[in-house]
Amino acid sequence: MDFPDNHHLSSALGWLELGNMTEAWVEMEKLSSGGRTKIEALTVSWKIFASQERWEEAVNMGREMVRTAPSITEGWINRSFALHEMRRTAEARAELLPAVEWFPKEPIIPYNLACYACQLGDMEAASRWFSEAVKRGGAKKMKAMGLDDPDLLPMKEEIRKL
């Protein structure tokens, strides 16, 4: 991203970190039309929507991220996370499943699939996905995340034994 778009995007991120969404959006509005379609800008827009719990817009932004840059994991993860926050967990799972093959080393994809399966009551799938996340991301890291995740509460004893 070129100047001045990179400056506005950086400023938007700063305002986001400070919790001032109004100013973050002011900076995003200053981006050129070409700058607004870059994956970096889409990512920041998703973060602003998510911080405001504007999940429908976050889903749409996640979809745009996947369309624009399908080789970047963040769009896939963000889109499904927003769907899950809207209580559309089965849809979140369905939209994230193709990413398992696209990103064979990424642990957050199977981790999130474990969360979704757990919340949908499919404990067998949740256990399989969590095992895959451990294989990809390491037991220590995944265990720490899993024990703190309310979506995985029904698996807490299984995770604790890792």
Cα 68 versus chain centre, distance: 16
The pLDDT tens digits of the residues spanning 97-106 come to 999 999 999 9
> What are the tens digits of pLDDT across the range 30-59?
999 999 999 999 999 999 999 999 999 999
Confidence of residue 1 (pLDDT cuts 50, 70, 90): confident
Does the predicted TM-score (pTM) go above 0.85? yes
Domains of the chain: 1-88 (1.25.40), 104-162 (no CATH)
Question: What is the structure's pLDDT at 10?
Answer: 97
Q: What is the mean pLDDT of residues 3-31?
A: 97
